[in-house]
Amino acid sequence: MAAAVPGARAAVTASYPFRLSDAEWRRRLTPQQYDVLRQSGTEAPFSSPLNNEHRAGIFDCAGCGQPLFDAKTKFDSGTGWPSFWKPLDRAVGEEADSTFGMTRTAVHCARCGGHLGHVFSDGPPPTGLRYCMNGLALAFRPAPT
């Protein structure tokens, strides 16, 4: 179950190419997805079935369908959230997040502004980055067979 992050931004208000009213977002998303994508909530670790997704394919934004991560960049970080070492080009944006008394880098969908998770500098080569994403913010699209 997702939980709102104390002090996190309220529903995304910046201008993005894909925009819906708050009522439209609430109709489009489950309550848990709305909490994560539109209110910067966080799902419980090890709760996403996408942790165990190992097929070839693309991870898209669950809010707008924007392709975000190639499955080739997914790795098991041991954190309980789907993790990637690199997003697709121009797929995500980043912003400072100073909730919980620390500064982190929040990651959002570049198309709709939906909150995806955070990026950390403790990932594997070749980037050394760990894009730690909420599974509720993602939709997996398998590669054609």
| Positions marked catalytic | 132
- Cα→Cα distances 101→5, 71, 81, 140, Å: 12, 33, 21, 33
The CA distances from residue 49 to 14, 20, 21, 82, in Å, are 30, 27, 29, 9
CA distances from 90 to 66, 81, 104, 108, 141 (A): 10, 22, 20, 11, 19
- The DSSP 8-state label assigned to residue 88 in this structure reads P
Which amino acid type is present at position 21?
S
Residue 8 CA to residue 79 CA, distance in Å, equals 21
